[in-house]
Chain A
Amino acid sequence: MTLTTLLRRISLKHIRHQKMRTAMALFGVALGVAAMTSIDIVNSSVIRSLEDSINRITGRAVLQITGAESGFPEEMLEKVQKVPGVEYAVPVIETNASLATGSERSFVVLGVDVLQDSNMRDYSVTGDSSDIPDPLLFLAKPDSILLTREMAQREGISIDQKIEVQTVQGLKTFTVRGLLEPDGPAKALGGDIALMDIYAAQLAFGKNARIDRIDVSVLRGETLDSVKTRIQAALPSGYNIDTPAGRSRQIENLMGRFRKSMDVISFMALFVGMYLIYNTVSISVVQRKKEIGILRAIGATRGQIIGLFLAETVALSLIASFLGVALGWVLAKLSINAVAQTVSSMYGRSSVTGLDLSLASVLRNIATGIVASLAAAAFPAYSSTHVAPVSAIRSLAYTSNGTVLRRLQKILALSFILLAGIIIAVYKTVGVASPLRNSSMTTLAMFSLTLGVSLAAPLFLKWFIRAYRAVLAPRLGAGGRLAGLNLEKNLTRNAVAVAAVFFSISLSVSSSSMMNSARRGVMDYIDSVDNSDILITSGHPLASAGAPTIPMPLSMRQELESIPGVRSVDPFRKLFINIDGRRVLLEMIDVVTWPRNNTCTIIEGAMQDIPLIRGKDEVTVNENVAMRMGLKKGSTLVLPTPSGPRPFRVAAVIVSYASDSGVIFMDMPTYEKYWNDHVSDMFSIYVEKGRDIAAVRTAIQKRYQGTRKMFVLAALEFRQEIKKMLDRSVVMNDAVNVLTLLIAGFGIIVTLLASVLERTREIGILRSIGMQRRQVSGVVLIESALIGAAGGLLGICAGVITGWINLEGFFRIDFGPSMAYHIHYPSIATALLFAVGLSILAGLYPARRAAKTNITEALAYE
């Protein structure tokens, strides 16, 4: 009751009077909550759409059996069909293709057994084909294909029309026999789906007697688990048998990395919001010191004062959080298509139809906004209770409580910095398999360090001013001396501004150093592992493994080598395999020819070991796989092959940044032998010395014109594309940096204005005894520059450390500890210049105000 009355009578008026400050705090928290909400919405919408597509394609199947991505022998179908409890088991081929003309859009081809598949999925087909009365009975004609009505309309394709489609075997011509109405599988993937007979699909897509999946329905009265166990027993190991829940989990795992990077951005946004609240409440406490003193003198308890500030924070953050949810929805709406596209190209097709926002997520984000704000306001609010009641009286000679608070602040600062150190020490000491080894730990360490250093800002400022007074002040005359004294006099308040500058500079230096390290790591890696002149792929060259690509037959290697000017050709194949429920990237190269032109960093073993694995059951693994599976050179690793599990010896441990889930390298012939898969995702072409690369490139394009659609890129262009992609990925980081710098500027303006207002009388006295306007504004500008320099220096030191911490948690954890930390010196220089420049800019207005002080009014000022 008392609190709400005080809130209404006092706080609301402050909130109204300090419009700018209130708006900044509202904006900060709203932004944090908006980021969380929009990321929630986008994530769950994308996941839901992926799930929906999968469920539509899955139909009534309750178990799905998959092997390696390259498919598995079709004899397995018979084994599954014989398992007791299985109602139906139907084979499926699921592969990518793209239209050779028109939009060149890629789509999924489902190859199904037309006679059996109706037991699993419902198709509603319209067809006026002159050749086939029932479009589903197109078995007799292997060139037949069914498209969705949506896709046909979009591409302007009609029934009986012949279409050219890019497949593994090159360009193929199919006849559209009918259209699938938007129902069942045809409604999945935004209609980018086509249906074929399974045997025709095997032929067209080079899957000799292999299938990609078996969909299983279970007899009534049987439990999923028991049938699953029986199927497991009937098949060689290495096959995955997924339940619907397992599939959802897989999607979530697949999206894990994406979600993690999104979460980092939302955490940063929330952190910025918290800092704004911290700054607002700190300044508010300092500016309302007199008011607090009066309230305390006339009988307000410490609890009431702290309650007042916290209640103000709750009121503000509640409004801000609601605004944030609304803003988050708008952001999600604006970004959903772009995100869905990124997800489609990186992880698999998704076509988002609507935004998914649950009440639980709204409530959670609002609660997070409020709790984070309260946490940020806690210390400044607590410090408000240390304003002595005697502050209300004119004699302010002693306030012993201030000393207690300063001591507490020092203890807290030291504790947080120590905590950060302990967390990092624990993180580095525990094994890779430990649950403590995750990015939450490093984030916590970064958070703790930032908080600790913020709290240490007054102490640092004190040292900084001491150094300034010893070295620089004597050269700057009376103004320089005065500026130092002024800063020292109001250490606490000036330290808040220093902390604001520190925060933004630290964030900027940290993220640019982390991104610089990742960028250099990846670029150095690419430069060493790919020295080719020309790259050929049939899918988009930047698509990661798992993205829709259409591989090319390995036999193309000889064709390419026969083109004049081509010195040699390296094939490259990549696919994900499942080891003990964990996705790992399997990459295939020609181990004999590849090392002639390329190199890689070896952790264990030697470069010479790599060609020696030819003809042996040996592989090399990257650091991530070695760490997570506890492998060393000479260890044995069992891999699931289509013909069952097979042991491979680890010949070397190397560095690879190709995937965040671990990479295993195998010799191409070994892969062909065990996987019975003879395709390549990419060919690297080395041009003969003295030959014109562009001419060779044109010759390659000419050779395949009309028979195969593919990307033929100069390797240099490819590397530039990757650089561009990496640069694009830091745009969000840059946005956060700019925002924090603005916040810092705002913090300085507020601090200096308050300081100028408080010193009105003092400025009046200085003016009355002959100080010029120019000199007055000079003093304020020097103060401002000093705040910027102190914050900048502190920010750079902390940023260099937090950059390393973040590299540990966000990159080294997934790519291996060999990723070197490269401090980004240009950003440090820019940051320092920016901090001082921005501070001077922020000081201009308060300086003008100070210079304009009316002497007679100022002398009467109280």
Chain B
Amino acid sequence: MIELKNASKSYKQGSREVHALRNVSLTIRKGEFLSIMGPSGSGKSTLLNLVGGLDQPSQGEIFMDGKPLHGISDDELTLIRRRRVGFIFQFFNLLPILTAVENVSLPLLLEGTPFNQIQPRAVELLNQMGLGNRVEHRPEQLSGGEMQRVAIARALVTNPAVLLADEPTGNLDSHTSEEIFMLLKTLHDKGQTIVMVTHDPRAAAYGSRIITLKDGSLSEDIAIGGQAA
């Protein structure tokens, strides 16, 4: 469903040219739970940004369901992010001024759907996340784990084709991290495609496939319980 062909990304840092990603070719299939590993600065987040349409490659091509994500306008790319991609960030990235239910509703509010039509679905998602009693709470009134679950609910509200998670437990204790991974695993079991960046080999093991990046290039690609892709 997502295909990268010789995708590269470089940027200028002062007068220095930094090659964050070099000629990566990769296919992510529907229903796959892909874990991306690698040391700091290996290009994990850059790869995730390209897959999620947060950024465009300097060279190469990216396709989602056969449609290009490269060389399209900012508005087209934005609509793909809004409708097809769900993001989960390390620092949750909830809007502090909105309540839990409003944060979850935000992508559909951007779509122009009236809040009263979104609300039942947002509340249902929060219930599924075990946050039925936190609907009207603001982020500052929630724990780290609760905030991340609100963020997951927000990522799911549009029924996205792919869920992207960037170190989703990087800011959580081990017990809460476990809960979040279980939640992601359950979603995957229901058929959700997930791409997750992580440092932690134990976390990566929740995935159905693990790729490892080194210096911006793909160095390893292992399918859990199967062969390499």
Q: What residues make up the interface of A, taking CB atoms closer than 8 Å to B? A: 1-2, 5-6, 9-10, 13-14, 17, 290-291, 293-304, 388-390, 392-395, 397-398, 400, 862
Given contacts A13-B97, A390-B54, A394-B45, contact A301 B112 (CB under 8 A): no
| Residue in contact with B45 in the complex, picked from A293, A299, A393, CB distance below 8 Å | A393
B112, A2: Cβ atoms closer than 8 Å: yes
Contact status A397-B18, CB under 8 Å: yes
> Quick check: B107 and A298 within 8 Å, CB to CB?
yes
Contacts of A303 in B (CB 8 A): 75
The distance in angstroms between the C-alpha atoms of A17 and B115, with both chains bound, is 22
Q: Are A295 and B97 in contact (CB under 8 A)?
A: no
Task: Looking at the assembled complex, report how far the CB atom of B164 sits from the nearest CB atom of chain A, in whole angstroms.
Answer: 10
- Complex CA–CA separation, A294 to B93 (angstroms): 6
- Using an 8 Å CB-CB cutoff, how does the interface string of B11-23 with A read, 1 for contact, 0 for none? 1110000101000
> What is the bound-complex CA distance between A303 and B48, given in angstroms?
25
Of all A-B residue pairs in the complex, the 10 with the closest CB atoms, nearest first, are A299-B82, A398-B11, A13-B97, A2-B112, A389-B54, A294-B93, A301-B78, A299-B81, A395-B45, A298-B107
How many whole Å from A22's CB to the nearest CB in chain B?
14
A301 touches B79 (CB 8 A): yes
CB <8 Å contact, A297 and B79: no
Q: Give 4 A-B pairs besides A1-B114, A9-B102, A862-B171 with Cβ atoms closer than 8 angstroms.
A: A2-B112, A13-B98, A302-B78, A392-B89
Contact of B115 (CB < 8 Å), options: A9, A299, A400 = A9
How far, in angstroms, from A702 to B149 measured CA to CA in the complex?
Answer: 98
Prevailing SS type, chain A contact patch: helix
Residues of A within 8 A of B158 (CB): 299
| A299 near B79: Cβ-Cβ < 8 Å | yes
Q: Binding site of B, secondary structure by majority: helix, strand, loop or mixed?
A: mixed
Given contacts A393-B89, A395-B45, contact A5 B109 (CB under 8 A): yes
Report the Cα distance A5→B20, complex, angstroms.
39
Which residues in B have their C-beta under 8 angstroms from that of A397?
Answer: 11, 13, 18, 20
A302 touches B74 (CB 8 A): yes
Interface flag for B124 (CB, 8 Å)? no
Q: How far is the CB of A144 from chain B (nearest CB, A)?
A: 81
Interface string of B77-99 (1 = CB under 8 A from A): 01101110001011101110110
- Which partner residue on chain B sits nearest A294 by CB separation? B93
Say whether, besides A13-B98, A14-B97, A299 and B78 are in contact (CB < 8 Å). Answer: yes
User: Which residues of B are found within 8 Å of A302, using beta-carbon distances?
Assistant: 74-75, 78
**Residues 101-116 of chain B, each 1 if its beta carbon lies under 8 Å from chain A, else 0:** 0100011011110110
Docked CA distance A293–B20 (Å): 21
Chain B residues with Cβ below 8 Å from A290 are: 93
Q: Which residues of A contact B81 (CB under 8 A)?
A: 297-299, 389
B78 with A398: CB separation less than 8 A: no
Residue among B13, B48, B81 facing the most chain A CB atoms (10 A cut-off):
B81
Indicate which residue in B11, B20, B107, B112 contacts A400 across the interface (CB closer than 8 Å): B11
Closest beta carbon of chain A to B134's beta carbon, Å: 18
Cross-chain contact A862 with B91 (CB below 8 angstroms): yes
Q: Give bound CA distance, A398 to B106, whole Å.
A: 26
Shortest beta-carbon distance, B174 to chain A, in Å? 17
Return chain B residues, CB-CB under 8 Å to A1. 112, 114
Cα separation A397 to B13 with both chains bound (whole Å): 8
- The answer to whether B82 touches A298 (Cβ under 8 A) is yes
How far, in Å, is A67 (CB) from chain B's closest CB? 72
Contact with A along B49-80 (1 / 0, CB 8 A): 10010110000000000000000001100110
Q: A392-B93, A398-B12 are in contact. Are A297 and B54 (CB under 8 A)?
A: yes
Q: Are B49 and A296 in contact (CB under 8 A)?
A: no
Task: Decide if B110 touches A300 in the complex (CB within 8 Å).
Answer: yes
CB distance from A17 to the nearest CB of B (A): 7
Q: Is the CB of A390 within 8 A of B13?
A: no
What are 16 pairs between A and B in contact, CB < 8 Å?
A: A1-B114, A2-B109, A9-B98, A9-B102, A295-B95, A297-B87, A298-B106, A299-B78, A300-B82, A301-B79, A392-B87, A392-B93, A393-B89, A394-B91, A395-B45, A397-B18
CB distance from B8 to the nearest CB of A (A): 13
Q: Are B112 and A298 in contact (CB under 8 A)?
A: no
Tell me if A299 and B107 are in contact (CB < 8 A). yes
Q: Is the CB of B114 within 8 A of A10?
A: no
Interface hub of B11, B52, B83, B95 (most chain A Cβ within 10 A): B95
Q: How far is the CA of A389 from the CA of B54 in the complex (A)?
A: 6
Complex interface: chain A residues within 8 A of B13 (CB):
397-398
Cβ-based interface call for B166 (8 A): yes
The one of A5, A13, A400 that contacts B114, using a Cβ cutoff of 8 Å: A5
A296 to B74 Cα, complex, angstroms: 10
Q: How far is the CA of A293 from the CA of B45 in the complex (A)?
A: 16
> Is there an interface contact between A291 and B95, defined as CB atoms closer than 8 Å?
yes
Check if B209 is an interface residue, CB within 8 A of chain A: no
Given contacts A390-B54, A393-B166, A394-B90, contact A295 B18 (CB under 8 A): no
B79: chain A residues at CB < 8 Å are: 299, 301
The interface residues of chain B lying within 8 Å CB-to-CB of A393 are: 45, 48-49, 54, 89, 166
CB distance from A675 to the nearest CB of B (A): 77
B13, B110, B112 pick with most chain A CB within 10 angstroms:
B110
Alpha-carbon distance A2/B108, docked complex (angstroms): 9
Complex interface: chain A residues within 8 A of B109 (CB): 2, 5-6, 9
Q: Verify B95–A10 contact, CB threshold 8 A.
A: yes
Q: Bound state CA distance, A293 and B91, in angstroms?
A: 13
CA distance A298 to B80 in the complex (A): 10
| Distance from A319 Cβ to chain B, minimum over Cβ atoms (Å) | 20
Q: Which residue of A lies closest to B98 (CB)?
A: A9
Q: Please give, as numbers and ranges, the residues of chain B lying within 8 Å of A299 by CB-CB distance.
A: 78-79, 81-83, 107, 110-111, 158
A393–B98 Cα distance when bound, in Å, is 19
The one of A298, A304, A400 in contact with B154, judged by C-beta atoms closer than 8 angstroms, is A298
